[in-house]
Amino acid sequence: MPERALDPHSAICRAIRLLRDHSRGCDSVETRRLLIRTERWMIWMLRRQEGEDLPVPAELAG
């Protein structure tokens, strides 16, 4: 997990936590899937920005 995503005072950490909380409590399967994909995309973008050379995950590329 990227450093900023672990810092409870960072905006990105709060955003990821809100996405997780909302997706877990969401009744709509489609909305839950979208929220989970958004969370994964945010974490992937953070990791790339912090210098990791990552390929685009198949679920995010499509």
Q: Quick: pLDDT tens for 9-52.
A: 777 788 888 888 888 888 899 998 888 888 888 888 888 887 88
φ and ψ of 53, to 5 deg: -95, 95
Q: What range does the domain containing 55 cover?
A: 3-61
pTM passes above 0.75: no
Count of domains observed in the chain: 1
φ and ψ of 35, to 5 deg: -65, -40
